[in-house]
Amino acid sequence: DIESLSDLEKLSVIGHGNGGTVYKVRNRKSSSVYALKVLRFDQNAAIIRHQAACEAEILKRVDSQFVVKCHAVFDAIGGELCFVMEYMERGSLYDELSVRINFPEDVISGVAQRVLRGLHYLHGMQIVHGDIKPSNLLINGKGDVKIADFGVSKIVVGTHNACDTCMGTCAYMSPERVDPERWNGCDADGFAGDVWSLGVVVLECFVGHYPLIGLGEKPDWAALMCAICFGERLEMPETASPEFRSFVRRCLEKEWRKRGTVDELLGHPFVNRSFGGSSNEGFIDFALHH
């Protein structure tokens, strides 16, 4: 129902990132609310342009209840690329974590299940997300979690892909992406990297802070890269249930060939806990209030 950008009225800024600015907007005609992501380009930023075109292409293709919906893509007059997206009222898991400190296991189980179902859908479309982290997992008014931000994603084509460079956030990056040589060749397509990132996210949701850096410590990126590649395997605290610990172990297997796949993990007991509610009920609220 949105024919042009002029149908939209900007209400407020809801996010800033590498990519650009995200606004809360309203359709003047229907008064429906959307999120508008605006990507700006410097004159010579051909590579960024290419990645933005890729993001647009992916957004046009995907249609899943586990992925933030894109309703329209516009080329603005100033050369910006604009995505009109479903508005996720409660912001990101990053925002939620900064308010709530951490989550009970049942909520994390629901988050993991939804992200895995989203990844199952995306990987089935040959799309590697490449940047799974709390600020890219968004929550709507009902409490549903969906995957967003295809700003570094890629569509896997053909049999050979050059290993991608450090484009995602390094903190959530798998050992094989940080150091492809040591880890016995790059994961040819990158699907296993999304599983690793999910493992870091669920661990973070449980302990309440990014797990590879102590609370309040300043990140030392080189040390962090070393810890991901050469450090001890990340272990869940003893207070977590055995299923949860086993789930995280499967996600954070350093050797990507041995790591759990999305299909395997969808069958894992940790993500198949019953909430009692219907699957359409906002599970975050359900799990927190029942």
In angstroms, the CA 104 to CA 109 distance is: 9
Q: Name beta bridge partners: 8.
A: 27
Distance of closest approach, residue 215 Cβ to Mg ion, in angstroms: 23
Residue ranges that bind ligand ADP, judged by CB under 6 A = 14-15, 17-19, 22, 35, 37, 68, 85-88, 91-92, 135-136, 138, 148-149, 151
| Of 42, 131, 179, 194, catalytic | 131
The binder of 18, among Mg ion, ligand ADP, none, by C-beta within 5 to 8 A per type, is ligand ADP
Binding segment for Mg ion (CB under 5 A), chosen from 9-17, 65-73, 78-86, 101-109, is 9-17
Strand order in the sheet with 20-27: 8-16, 20-27, 33-39, 81-86, 70-75
Task: Show the site string, 80-119: x = touches Mg ion by CB under 5 A, - = not.
Answer: ----------------------------------------
Q: Is 37 annotated as a binding residue?
A: yes
In angstroms, the CA 38 to CA 220 distance is: 31
Angle between helices 242-251 and 191-207 (to 10 degrees): 140
Distance of closest approach, residue 263 Cβ to ligand ADP, in angstroms: 26
7 catalytic residue (yes or no): no
Amino acid at 111: V
253 binds Mg ion (CB under 5 A): no
Alpha-helical (H) ranges within the chain are: 46-61, 93-100, 105-124, 175-178, 191-207, 221-230, 242-251, 262-266, 283-289
Residue 137 near residue 145 (C-beta atoms within 8 A) = yes
136 binds Mg ion (CB under 5 A): yes
**Of positions 105, 144, 149, 204, contacts Mg ion by CB under 5 A:** 149
- List the catalytic residues: 131
Which residues of the chain form contacts with Mg ion (CB under 5 A)? 17, 136, 149
Question: Which residues fall in the annotated binding site for ATP?
Answer: 37
